[in-house]
Amino acid sequence: MATTELFIKNMVCPRCIKVVKSVLEAEGFKVAKMELGKASVEGNVSADQLNRLVPLLQEEGFLLIDDKKQQLVAAIKSIVVDTVHYTDLDEMKENFSTLLSTRLQKDYHLLSSLFSELEGTTIEQYIIQQKIERVKELLRYNELSLSEISYKLGYSSVAHLSAQFKKVTGLTPSQFKQMKDTGRIPLDKL
């Protein structure tokens, strides 16, 4: 049976996948596959069904993306978020440019240009923002040392992580750890 892919903005965590899946199933869609930023449903989806689905997703903080360029940017973001937040970067065998090119089957320069054009920032800066948010999260948990965090996120050294953290946040990791209000940015706002 044919499937229809729906590209959905702001799906940034496993909980988002559950929410979107429940919205789709409540509307009678048979979900074939779910992943960050994308849902595959069985059969064709009519314009009428889409019109009913859009406000339901918006109520939950999600946007249906129909523009091909926006879909590609959303896919880039989903891969980056998934990789930074849900895998150990020290185990990555390839760099992000190769990962994105391979997974999306597109030339990295095309992906990079499109991302910069639509987002007003580079893929590299987006990756750094995601890594810094992950560092903030791990610092708040207080379970790993800065050295372990540095290794886990694939930094070459603690000094490199600290310098990048200070450049982005204006604080050292130690200063951040002492703060009561973390100033963390929700992933869907990055």
112's CB contacts (< 8 A; 6+ apart) are 97, 122, 123
Considering the four listed CATH numbers 3.30.2290.10, 1.10.10.10, 1.10.10.60, 1.20.1250.20, the one that applies to the domain covering 68-190 is: 1.10.10.60
Angle between helical axes of 68-86 and 123-141 (0-180°, round to 10): 30
Summary mean pLDDT of the chain: 90
In the predicted model, is pLDDT for residue 144 greater than 80?
Answer: yes
pLDDT at position 78 over 60: yes
Binned at pLDDT 50, 70 and 90, residue 106 comes out as very high
pLDDT band at 184 (very low <50, low <70, confident <90, very high): low
Segments making up each domain of the chain, as ranges: 3-66, 68-190
pTM (2 decimals)?
0.76
- Specify the CATH number of the domain 3-66: 3.30.70.100
Compute the C-alpha angle 148/153/156, nearest 5°.
Answer: 80
Position 185 pLDDT exceeds 70? no
